[in-house]
A and B are shown apart, each in its own frame.
Chain A
Amino acid sequence: MSVDKATVRRIAHLARIGVEEEELEGLSGELSSILNWIEQLHEVDTENVPPLASVNHATLLPREDVVNDGGDPDAVLANAPERHDDFFAVPKVVE
């Protein structure tokens, strides 16, 4: 599987990672070689094998539906790059 420059540009957009035009060629080569190496998985017969998302041994138990934390906007906002009052501030999204 080869990943061309247009595909690198598209996935970089999906991942919201800025890439410079001159980086596309190099990334295209790196990603293609990694994906080509991964292709060997297609040798494996996985007919009727159920996917395994996690080996989690824990059983999920219901909890009391109560508030047990929160109510501390200053702690929540303490690391914000920019805040206004009790809100995270971002560049204007809606005109």
Chain B
Amino acid sequence: MSAGELAGLGIAEARRRLAAREISSAELTADCLAAVEAADALNAFILKTPETATEMAAAADARLARGDGGLLEGIPLAIKDLFCTNGIATTTASRILDGFTPPYESTVTEKLFAEGAVMVGKTNMDEFAMGSSSETSAWGPVINPWRATGDNSQRSPGGSSGGSASAVAAGLALGATGTDTGGSIRQPASLTGIVGCKPTYGRCSRWGVVAFSSSLDHPGPMARSVEDTALLLQAMSGHDPKDSTSADVPVPDFAAAIPGDLKGLKIGIPREYRVDGMPDAVETLWSTGADWLRAAGAEVVDISLPHTKYALPTYYIVAPAEASSNLARYDGVRYGLRVAQADVNDMYAATRRAGFGAEVRRRVLIGTYVLSAGYYDAYYLKAQQVRRLILRDFEEAFERVDAILTPTAPEAAFAIGAKSDDPIAMYLNDVFTVPGDLSGVPGISVPAGLSAEGLPLGLQVMARAFDEETMFRVAGRIEDAAGFDAKPAAWWRGES
């Protein structure tokens, strides 16, 4: 067995081999930890947790030996560093949480660990999940394992869950958790050639997830296949009394919904998602994707989501407004950074100046402005009304169709630093994912092809609220037809 061979297994296959006792979680975990150690060049982790992982793997092997393993028994995962982990530092990639060790476990990680998952580390991300490139981290940018053909320059993995995406794409863990507020699971999945799913709002508990924008934050899974993603989502889902927005609905066997043709299903192609400047490869892949679904038995129809172009400006009112409110808790009093000053107001201002990075400060200021007296109606109320119209677009579309097919992102992975000086250019990367967050409908990105430069491109499938099963079945047919098996050359291990 060569290094990285076990770490490169899919979750479904690793489960089979673990259950058959062909491999142990200790071996699988050790292989992942070695891969993590060899991948510092990706900067995918803020904190590696090899000792915790080794203990968890031993406990998993003991349960497997007794024959009472959980759904993810012994499976090594990477955890985005905004899921609070009991007794293990959690930073949300910000200096404002310096020294913070949560005395509790997030519901999502608690559920994953209860099913036997093993944590290899906490992944790097945009600070407070505010970004689309994983460059705003106080720990420096995450690097995409993918490079363009004949070009050794470093690419962004997208964001904000870029550390999780790079870790999964580079074979450092079998899967990962992410969060998606404007596209932060689906866009990095597309840019790194993996699968990422944002479930329905309320499907996964937000308890213990560092809050950015509470009405938009969606925890969800990232993995290398549709089936693996479905298994992770099943373990992460379920009602949680500790999150008042958690939905009390049954959790289906998502993986069981994947097989089967698409006879009787109608798939919508929204005309407003054809945006100026979209590369030909994205446009071509999208129509090829529609052909694949037709061949699988679906009827493909044109639909309209007329308020699509207003989703991003709506998002850039709602998300900063909620962030300015949520981030008010970082005051240097109860946890995290404190910059000492004689006066308490000076202490707040100095602490927040030192603790928050430039993009977080910018968004808190925007949010404070749109909520301030005299501007509330013109901005925040207006955005909430347009949000209603965006939701209605989806409700009306889903009266006609069962799922919607779009590109995940308007382009492939861009160079590190390419958009750092232009916030709006960065925001535009989320043009196809933000509507799903505003409306709460589930969406999944599936790797479907390569750009002209040899970089991965994803297609997105959206479905009705709480109909992830249809979403997974359509995603499964894209995965089958695309046969995407390209892998990045492991340059970070010194291979070329």
Residues of A whose CB lies within 8 Å of any CB of B are: 3, 7-8, 11-19, 27, 30-31, 33-35, 37-42, 44, 46, 49-60, 63, 75, 78-82, 88, 90-93
Contacts and interface: CB of A to CB of B under 8 A. Distances in A.
9 contacts: A11-B368, A17-B356, A41-B383, A44-B382, A49-B388, A81-B336, A82-B338, A92-B344, A93-B344
B314 interface: yes
Interface in B307-338: 307, 309-310, 313-314, 316-317, 324, 328, 331-338
B440 A19 contact: no
B423 interface: yes
Nearest to A72: B103
Contacts of A40: 309-310, 313
A81 B305 CA distance: 49
A57 B389 CA distance: 17
A81 B338 contact: yes
Contacts, number: 164
B333 A81 contact: yes
Given A17-B352, A18-B350, A55 B389 contact: no
Contact of A57 (B353, B368, B423, B465): B465
A12 B466 CA distance: 40
Contact of B365 (A8, A51, A58, A93): A8
4 interchain residue pairs of minimum CB distance: A51-B384, A18-B353, A55-B440, A79-B335
B1 interface: no
B316 A52 contact: no
B201 A56 contact: yes
Contact of A41 (B215, B314, B343, B356): B314
**For chain A, what secondary structure do more than half of its interface residues adopt (helix, strand, loop), or is it mixed?**
loop
A17 B96 CA distance: 12
Interface in B384-402: 384-389, 391
B331 A16 contact: yes
B215 A53 contact: yes
Given A35-B366, A51-B381, A16 B333 contact: no
Given A51-B384, A58-B246, A44 B103 contact: no
Given A31-B365, A52-B391, A88-B333, A41 B386 contact: yes
Contacts of A81: 99, 332-333, 335-338
B389 A49 contact: yes
Given A34-B362, A80-B335, A81-B337, 15 more contacts: A16-B345, A17-B349, A17-B353, A17-B356, A19-B353, A30-B362, A34-B424, A40-B310, A44-B382, A46-B386, A55-B465, A56-B202, A79-B100, A81-B336, A91-B340
A90 B202 contact: no
B317 A38 contact: yes
Contacts of B361: 17
A33 B362 CA distance: 12
A27 B202 contact: no
Contacts of A55: 201, 215, 391, 438-440, 465
A16 B439 CA distance: 32
A80 B366 contact: no
A14 B166 CA distance: 38
Contact of A91 (B313, B341, B465): B341
Contacts of B372: 11, 14
A34 B333 contact: no
A22 to B, nearest CB: 14
B103 A75 contact: yes
A25 B366 CA distance: 15
A91 to B, nearest CB: 5
Given A50-B388, A88-B334, A27 B365 contact: yes
B427 to A, nearest CB: 8
A46 B314 CA distance: 13
A54 B245 contact: yes
B20 interface: no
A86 to B, nearest CB: 13
A44 B335 contact: no
Contacts of B307: 44
Contacts of A80: 333-335
Contacts of A12: 365
B364 interface: yes
Contacts of A82: 338
Contacts of B344: 90-93
B347 A91 contact: yes
B369 interface: yes
